[in-house]
Amino acid sequence: MVLPVSRTQRLFDLLQLLRRHQYPVAAAYLASELDVSVRTVYRDIATLQSQGAEIEGEAGIGYILKPSFMLPPLMFSQDELEVLLLGAEWVMQRADENMSEAAQNAIAKISSVLPDKLKYQLSKEVTRVVPVCGLSEFQVDLTDIRQAIRHESVAEICYTDEKGKQTTRRIWPVLIGFFERCYILTAWCESRNAFRHFRIDRMQFFKTTGEKYLRSQRELLKSWQQQEGVTERETRY
């Protein structure tokens, strides 16, 4: 069973959804994207408005977030900062170049708005991520895979299994899993009509077809979570 998203997370997700649109968005659409009722969307919008979010609109017409609205700066405890640093360092050591650079930029942006006391705490190393050796080289670009997931694009891959057999498949990429010594792509495989897990270092090529999934990535992810018996929190990244 998939655990529900916390209300705080849902409010942030609602703001993010509104940011993506330049025109009023119907509450029914927002409810569908967040997997909640329309009544819940109305309550959440009222809550955000009471906390200063510049959301305009009304029921039956739609809602829009004014472009000038910015989230207030977030304050982190020392433990929270350490978690962020460890997470960023893990990504820098294990992910591809684009993700590594993004992790460094994220930490730099957070550091730039911290008060001096927390900056000093941030400079102290209490815990470190141990470098991992032996990660395999990729013949495909992880950026292409991430873009395919974000745009819900069908892809073709050439894949070599553990027995050395090569096959060409059409897949719907759903989620990248980062493990200690390999990366795994969870995808819906058209030829198997089921979810499959592909080691990315065994892919000879990855190419999008320009076609869209027949189901949304969000729906596919939920189906995979239910099949595998994992929670949404365990698959967040």
Q: What is the pLDDT of residue 198?
A: 95
- pLDDT for 1: 39
Supply the pTM of this predicted model: 0.55
Judgement on whether residues 178 and 118 belong to the same structural domain of the protein: no
Spell out, as residue ranges, where the chain has pLDDT lower than 50. 1-3, 73, 127, 233-234, 236-237
Which pLDDT belongs to residue 166? 94
Does residue 194 belong to any structural domain of this protein? yes
Residue 95 lies in a domain: yes
On whether both 89 and 48 belong to a single domain, the answer is no
Q: Which of 43, 50, 42, 55 is nearest to 15 (CA)?
A: 55
Residue 133 is assigned to a structural domain of this protein: no
**pLDDT value of residue 224:** 92
134 is a domain residue: no
CATH number assigned to the domain comprising residue 14: 1.10.10.10
Domain that holds residue 110: 78-123
Residue at 70 is within a domain: no
One domain, residues 100 and 164: no
What does the pLDDT read at residue 90?
76
In a domain, 129, yes or no: no
Q: How many domains does the chain have?
A: 3
CATH of the domain at 174: 2.30.30
Residue 136 lies in a domain: no
Out of 23, 40, 65, pick the residue that ends a domain.
65
216 and 166 in a common domain: yes
Residue 157 counted as domain residue: yes
Please indicate, yes or no, whether residues 231 and 155 belong to a single structural domain of this protein. yes
Closest by CA position to 195, among listed 164, 216, 166, 171: 171
pLDDT reported for residue 59: 82
- Summary mean pLDDT of the chain: 81
> 212 and 188, same structural domain?
yes
pLDDT in tens, 43-96: 999 998 888 888 998 888 899 988 765 555 455 666 777 777 777 777 777 777
